[in-house]
Structure 1
Amino acid sequence: MKLAILSDIHSNVFALEAVIADVKKHNVDYMVNLGDILYGPIAPKATYDLLMKHNFITICGNQDRQIFEATTAEIASNPTMKFIIDDLGEDPIEWMKSLAFDKQLSDDIYLCHGTPSNDLIYLLENVECGYARLRSDNDILSLLNGQKSPIICCGHTHTPRTVSLSTGQVVVNPGSVGLQAYTDDEPNIHSMENFNTMASYALLEKVSDEKANSKEASSTKANESWKVQHINVPYDVKSAVEACMKRDRQDWVHFLTTGRKCP
């Protein structure tokens, strides 16, 4: 079995196009989308239309909820949100409402956006100091809240990581398809930076039974029976930037062109 794991597209249809083209080279069995799909000043409806042309297994992210839960006052006070709502129309919003919070994809693989119980909490990163630091093994296990699947796939932080836990479980965050840096003020002011301008995703591949029973790999350990590959894909950043400039989002222009926080 081979899966392409995507997350945090954030309306960047140009990055999504490049990732899908790259995924097709790898002959995957499934494409997985971990949420935060259409929120962004680039191309929400075009991103939705492209996704509908492909057979993705998709769960909901916190900013997907933010779109379909937005009040009239919130829309009026947020020009980016108003653009998104106007651009999308009814069908994409109803589609987001239908998405599951999480998903047990198989006995081995569990999908969530943030943590198994909260889509606003970073599973792997602590940001109390203003930037991302890997949580302790105990803290990650506590946030998993009893989820025992050998492979946990999460998103939300836009930070590509593969983390092995003391339980033998492996947590995979594929990073972000569409946004390689951002600053947020919850739970405190912090910035996430990947220091590149490429779209990120991950390949997750099950090692064959024959190999898993060999000296090279043991099927009893998740990090030895699954191969994880993080992939960075160049894409048409210029077109994404032009869309952001039309929405007067200079912060996104900086994020997209540098992969760094704003000065």
Structure 2
Amino acid sequence: MRIAAISDVHGNLPALEAVLADIRARGCDALVNLGDVASGPLWPAETVDLLMTVPALTIRGNHERQLLADPERMRESDRVAREALSSGHLAWIAGLPAQARFAGAALLVHGSPRSDIDYLLERVEPDGPRPATAAEVAPALDGHDAGLVLCGHTHVPRALRLADGRLCVNPGSVGLPAFRGTEPYPHVMQSGTPAARYAMLQRDSGTWDVELIAVEYDHAAAVQRARSRGFDVWAEALRDGRLPPEPR
């Protein structure tokens, strides 16, 4: 069985188109989408239009939850997306599950099984984020027996095999390679490249393996789109896949 996993598209239509084309070229049995599909200043409506036509098991991320909240309390990136989305788009988003199991074989979450804003495969220290250890990840999966756990949210591609053989994978972000976070300490999550990211999972003889894939696309168009709409930090992240720390 081959599963392609995408996450954190954030309305980046050309990045999504490039990733879907690469997936078609490589071939797979199924596609799963781990959420945060539309939030941001890029092409939120066009992105949802495309995803509504793609056969995939899609779950919601924290930004889907936030898009359905009170518009007066939204952050700017959610507000600009919400204003672009139709009632049909919002109804589709509202129908997405928060978590899912795929064919009994994989657990799909956005952040972690505990919360859509948890970092499953990273820990944030005062001096910045670091990869989590297997011993740190395992307690978050108590009560879940899936041999494959797919998560997103951090935008950083990573794979970790636990002591019991379970494989945890974050495919990285299709559409936004870097962002600034605030909890528990101010930090930057970044892939270090403007490429769109996804993962291809394959199970042979009961064991899952992963390939973390980078796809080049016309990121200059996304940079220009963000900048033209006044989102200069997004433009910087899309251009370089990196962000400097927030000035103190």
TM-score, normalisation: structure 2: 0.94
Q: Which amino acid aligns with 1:178?
A: G
Residue of structure 2 in register with 1:90 after alignment: 87
Residue of structure 2 in register with 1:52 after alignment: 52
- Cα distance in structure 1, aligned partners of 2:81 and 2:97: 21
- Cα distance in structure 1, aligned partners of 2:37 and 2:94: 12
SS at structure 2 position matched to 1:251: helix
1:246: Cα distance to partner? 2.0
- Cα distance in structure 1, aligned partners of 2:94 and 2:83: 17
1:64: Cα distance to partner? 1.1
Alpha-carbon contact 1:38-1:48 (below 8 Å) kept: yes
Structure 2 vs 1, CA of residues 153 and 79 (structure 1 numbering), >3 Å: closer, same or farther? closer
- Cα distance in structure 2, aligned partners of 1:163 and 1:66: 29
- Cα distance in structure 2, aligned partners of 1:227 and 1:81: 35
Q: Which structure 1 segments of 5+ residues have no match? A: 213-218, 220-224
Residue of structure 2 in register with 1:192 after alignment: 189
SS at structure 2 position matched to 1:241: helix
Cα deviation per residue 1:177-209 (whole Å; 9 max; x = unaligned)?
Answer: 0011110113321111111110000001122xx
Q: Which structure 2 segments of 5+ residues have no match? A: none
Q: Which amino acid aligns with 2:30?
A: Y
1:84: Cα distance to partner? 1.1
Q: Which runs of structure 2 are paired with 1:70-109 in the superposition (5 Å)?
A: 71-75=70-74, 78-109=75-106
- Cα distance in structure 1, aligned partners of 2:192 and 2:88: 35
Residue of structure 1 in register with 2:11 after alignment: 11
Structure 2 vs 1, CA of residues 155 and 80 (structure 1 numbering), >3 Å: closer, same or farther? closer
User: Quick one: which of 218, 225, 232 aligns to 1:236?
Assistant: 218
Larger Rg: 1
Alignment size in residue pairs: 245
1:80: Cα distance to partner? 3.4
Cα deviation per residue 1:203-259 (whole Å; 9 max; x = unaligned)?
Answer: 01122xxxx3xxxxxx4xxxxx22211110001111111210122010011101111
- Cα distance in structure 1, aligned partners of 2:98 and 2:56: 15
TM-score, normalisation: structure 1: 0.89
Structure 2 vs 1, CA of residues 85 and 107 (structure 1 numbering), >3 Å: closer, same or farther? closer
Residue of structure 1 in register with 2:24 after alignment: 24
SS at structure 1 position matched to 2:128: coil
Q: Which amino acid aligns with 1:49?
A: D
Residue of structure 1 in register with 2:39 after alignment: 39
1:130: Cα distance to partner? 4.6
1:131: Cα distance to partner? 2.7
- Cα distance in structure 2, aligned partners of 1:104 and 1:175: 20
Q: Which amino acid aligns with 1:165?
A: L
Structure 2 vs 1, CA of residues 170 and 81 (structure 1 numbering), >3 Å: closer, same or farther? closer
State, as a whole percentage, how many aligned pairs show the same letter.
37
Alpha-carbon contact 1:40-1:84 (below 8 Å) kept: yes
User: Quick one: which of 240, 243, 248 aligns to 1:261?
Assistant: 243
Q: In the alignment, does 2:187 pair up with 1:205? A: no
Q: In the alignment, does 2:126 pair up with 1:129? A: yes
SS at structure 2 position matched to 1:226: strand
Alpha-carbon contact 1:4-1:28 (below 8 Å) kept: yes
1:176: Cα distance to partner? 0.5
CA RMSD, 1 decimal: 1.4
1:119: Cα distance to partner? 0.6
Alpha-carbon contact 1:130-1:191 (below 8 Å) kept: no
Alpha-carbon contact 2:134-2:160 (below 8 Å) kept: no
Q: Which amino acid aligns with 2:105?
A: D
